[in-house]
Each structure stands twice: as structure tokens, then as C-alpha cells.
Amino acid sequence: MYFMFLDILSILLNILWWIIIVQAVMSWLIAFNVINTHNDFVGQLWHVLDRITEPLYRPFRRIMPDFGGIDLTPMVVLILLIIIQGPVMTYLYRLGVQTGMA
């Protein structure tokens, strides 16, 4: 049960990783007028991605300095995800093996 929970958590973190990547690329495309948010599909997709990522970004935006038009918050969240997926998940897997959780 423990390892199944860790596998599900790992999958969810991977999905979140890709959501952040897609939202970042989409923000660049919108900024350079490659895609238009007045298109219904693009507008709805942007709204969904924003609703998913904004709660993650908000705490970091409060403490990060303003860099003008550059938003480094997605990069900070991605680095945090790398830390969670790498050392933290490895530690949790090893902890489960050592304690004999199944």
C-alpha cells in the first residue's frame, strides 16, 4: 500500500511537471502573439492551466523579487518538483524498504 501511494504521488508530480511546462510554453506563445486567447479552445485551456498552477505559484510570487516582465516562478516550482521527485522520493522508497512496508 505504501509503495502504491508513492507510485501515485510520482505520477501526479510528473503530470504537474508537464502542466507547468505546457503553461510556460503557452505563455510565451501568447506573449509573442503566436496564439490568441480570444480563440475559445486556447482561452479555455489557458484558464484551466492558470487555475491549476496559480495556487502553486502564489506563495513563491510573494517572496520573489520583481524581474519586470520575466516570471521565474514556474522555474522555481519546477526546481522544487525536481527536488521532491529525486532525493525526497528516493528517501521515501528506501524508508519503505527498510521498515518492510508493503
pLDDT band at 6 (very low <50, low <70, confident <90, very high): very high
CA gap 94, 44 in Å, rounded? 41
C-alpha cell at 31: 506573449
CA gap 11, 102 in Å, rounded? 19
Looking at residues 23-52, what average pLDDT do you find? 94
**Full domain range(s) for residue 73:** 2-99
| N-term to C-term CA, the chain | 6
C-beta of residue 37 within 8 angstroms of C-beta of residue 46: yes
- C-alpha 23 chain-centroid distance: 9
* pLDDT the model gives residue 67: 84
Q: Is the pLDDT of residue 30 over 70?
A: yes
DSSP code at position 72 = -
If one counts the domains in the chain, the total is: 1
Q: Is the pLDDT of residue 9 over 90?
A: yes
Q: Which residues of 39-59 are buried (b: 16+ CB within 10 A; e: fewer)?
A: eeeeeebbeebeeebeebbee
The residue assigned the cell 516550482 is 77
Question: Whole-model pTM?
Answer: 0.87
In tens, the pLDDT along 44-100 reads 999 999 999 999 999 999 999 888 878 899 999 999 999 999 999 999 989 988 888
pLDDT band at 102 (very low <50, low <70, confident <90, very high): low
